[in-house]
Structure 1
């Protein structure tokens, strides 16, 4: 557990390690290279320009999963909007396609399965664009359904055990949670004393009549891959009700920085990065957006959100052939709904026509999507091996 002044070097080493663990982890942590390499791909000039809407910007498998709203209702939505911009929705499709292709390779599935995954992905996405009120595809994914069922059965004890390795309301310092600098702890106390922040936490817990809210414990949170090195805190907030009983909320605070995803020309977005992330969440993932708030702390832009027991990441260790195809269709359907809810019927029809225009021939996948994913998979594989070499030399 490094002291605050030694965090940077430790975080850089952790980032190198996490990205060396698998090609899929390397893809997740390499958003900047994704867009650099996409611009250099042979199909770059043929990627259609879709309507300028909020996109995830980093639409890989790990950024999709069950999310609860303020009333406890759960849905599969986009769960990470750090890179979200008003941009080209085709970029979310390519990013998801690359993530699925990498997962298929990690599951030792043949290339023909990747081809089928991309075909089903486009079908699922197109179905959502055509009718954003439609239900999920008939061929449901067992992986998606199982994690959704797991999400519905979770309670505070599951969240505390998973995130904190404890059931009691405290944050155990160690590998993941690090000691705060005095100025960080003071800043967090002031933040939760802010009426605006307190009101958000109270409303999310359904405790509007609570008489007291206070910071119980907090720590620096070593989490993620692309976010390593940014300010990230976990905080336990206590809420005392009218009868003197306490309930607790686990809150995540994360620094927001400039996105690397391409921004549509003339797009009007909030200039503050935390405000941008929250605006994107409210457009793309309503369950998450209603639980977020942009804040300023230590002269940085952060967003704050309560973590609920129902929020889970979609972890895919192994796909079989059938599951890979079903998951591709269903997850693309989720992304399509996030895009479609921002569009009027005429714009949805025009965007759908662009998607369908290039679906001819033996491979029923738009050629720009297929060629982009193939080129990116090759670049990422080479980049991953080079990263592993550099990590081994450094180690």
Structure 2
């Protein structure tokens, strides 16, 4: 009997988690994760919570709705159903009921790691993490959620949103489409777009046509013209994800692009003791929590089932972008403003969804915000976790170079 080849412990954990993803795309995920420690962190949310369950010095906190994978690049701008632009949390694939502090620990750890990857002084990272905790706590103490749009934003976030507000659908069409034989199609020259085999493409288009006809969230009088496989993010590389080009039956040269993304169970679920609602599907969980935590949700947000898999559908945004810290790494005041806004939004998302299906009510969240005893422990945990992630990242790079993930 042949012995199984030896596989390092970290590689086993990564391969086990990604075993149900598309193998060829998972290879691209592993490659992306070698870029820097922050990219590795983004691709290994499950490792963070596997390690968190064994931690003994994490203060207690109220159970709230959390997006689960909160880091500096999971806030961004987007146009909502009401056609206004907002800056808010924007990734809810991992969303569950869990201790409020888990969300905060994931975020402040990302500050230390992202600043390290950008060669920003770690004293500055510590100051920003401390600022985040103070603003987050102060916002909870108000008991009132706040939203950020071009009218309420300040500094660089205001500039960011005003720029986003001026964008239109032509921008996205220019980037993602091309003309072939006088027809507009999704471009395969985009490195994030991949061709779909004909039988699957035909089945997907038929499914999307059915969604357009049956869903209350779908656009009126549109027809599907094309579809491609889409690659996006880091943690979600390997899930099935498709883009559809829709054309209006009424208005000439009026197009929409729809994103359809496969849903998996949250990687937090094995570790949180909070009783979860009985969702009909993973995509229902994602959409329902997103609608609770965001001030306004993105256009056409809905769910569907295709070939036995659960998917989230939403309109691909004319602009859905993140603050590029690489461009502002030397602008200390701008970084302060962004981190401060992110803290406000994190607390606001928990207040906004307070009291729903088992989450803490606002009075509990206010009391937690007023409690000064947990912040130092949170900072210490994030700093210790950073060291552990550095070890894991170095091990991962060595394993990758040795062909363990081939």
Residue matched to 1:330? 341
Structure 1 pair 178–277 and aligned structure 2 pair: CA distance change class (3 A): same
| Counterpart mapping for 1:100-249 below 5 A | 100-129=111-140, 130-134=142-146, 142-162=155-175, 164=176, 166=178, 169-174=184-189, 175-194=191-210, 195=212, 199-202=216-219, 208=220, 210=221, 213-241=222-250, 245-249=252-256
Q: Answer yes or no: is the 8 Å Cα contact 2:29–2:237 preserved in 1.
A: yes
CA distance, structure 1, for counterparts of residue 397 and residue 41 of structure 2: 13
Partners of 1:286 and 1:357 in 2: CA distance: 26
Deviates more, 1:17-26 or 1:244-253: 244-253
- Deviations 1:47-94, CA, capped at 9 Å, x for gaps: 32313x321000111111112112211111111111011222211111
Cα-to-partner distance string for 1:344-389 (whole Å, 9 max, x where unaligned) = 6x93233232344234xxxxx7122112211211111111112222
Point out where structure 2 has 5 or more consecutive residues left out of the alignment: 1-20
Which residue of 1 is the match for residue 35 of structure 2? 21
Contact 1:55/1:87 (CA < 8 Å) preserved in 2? yes
Instruction: Write out aligned runs for 1:358-377 (5 A).
Output: 358-359=372-373, 366-377=375-386
Secondary structure, aligned partner of 1:267: coil
8 Å CA contact 1:30–1:226 kept in 2: the answer is yes
Q: 1:184 to 1:313 in 2, by over 3 A?
A: farther
- Change in CA separation of 1:271 and 1:134 when aligned onto 2, cut-off 3 Å: closer
Residue 265 to residue 42, structure 1, CA distance change in 2 (3 Å): closer
- RMSD (Å) for aligned C-alpha atoms: 2.7
Among 36, 47, 50, the alignment partner of 2:62 is 50
Query: Aligned pair in 2 of structure 1 residues 56, 149: CA closer, same or farther (>3 Å)?
Result: same
Are the aligned partners of 1:88 and 1:264 in contact in 2 as well (CA < 8 Å)? Answer: no
> How far 1:143 sits from its partner (Å)?
4.4
Q: Which whole-Å deviations, capped at 9, do the CAs of 1:225-248 have from their partners, x for residues lacking one?
A: 21122111011111222xx52411
Please identify which structure carries the higher helix content. 1
Question: 1:179: how far off?
Answer: 1.5
Q: 2:264 aligned with 1:257, yes or no?
A: yes
1:42 is displaced (CA, Å) by 4.7
Q: What is residue 315 of structure 1 aligned with on the other side?
A: 324
**Residues 89-148 of structure 1: per-residue CA shift (max 9 Å, x gap):** 211111111111212223333333222212211222123322425576xx9774433332
**Alignment coverage as a number of residue pairs:** 368
Deviates more, 1:332-341 or 1:175-184: 175-184
Give the Cα–Cα distance (whole angstroms) in 2 for the partners of residues 40 and 72 of structure 1.
44
In structure 2, the residue corresponding to 1:287 is in which secondary structure?
coil
Q: How does 1:4-19 map to 2 (within 5 A)?
A: 8-19=22-33
After superposition, give the CA deviation of every residue in 1:245-291 in whole Å (9 maximum; x if it has no partner): 24111111000001111444222141410111110111112432563
Say whether the 8 Å CA contact 1:69–1:291 is kept in structure 2: no
Contact 1:128 1:336 survives alignment (8 Å): yes
Where structure 1 has 5 or more consecutive residues not aligned to the other structure, the ranges are 1-6, 203-207, 360-364
Q: SS in structure 1 opposite 2:338?
A: helix
Report the 3-state secondary structure (helix = DSSP H, G, I; strand = E; otherwise coil) of the residue aligned with 2:205: helix
The list of structure 1 runs, each at least 4 consecutive aligned residues, that deviate by more than 6 angstroms after superposition, is none
- Evaluate the alpha carbon distance shift between residue 196 and residue 259 of structure 1 in structure 2; reply closer, same or farther with a 3 A threshold: farther
Q: What is the aligned partner in structure 1 of residue 18 from structure 2?
A: none
CA distance in 1, matches of 2:146, 2:287: 26
CA contact (8 A) 1:173 1:179 kept: yes
Aligned to 1:36: 50
Q: Secondary structure at the match of 1:265?
A: coil
Q: Tell me, what secondary structure is at the counterpart of 1:170?
A: strand
How many angstroms apart in 2 are the aligned matches of 1:154 and 1:303? Answer: 24
Note closer, same or farther for the CA distance 1:196–1:40 as it changes in structure 2 (3 Å cut): farther
Q: Displacement of 1:198 after TM fit?
A: 5.5
CA distance in 1, matches of 2:196, 2:42: 28
Q: Aligned to 1:47, what secondary structure does the other structure show?
A: coil
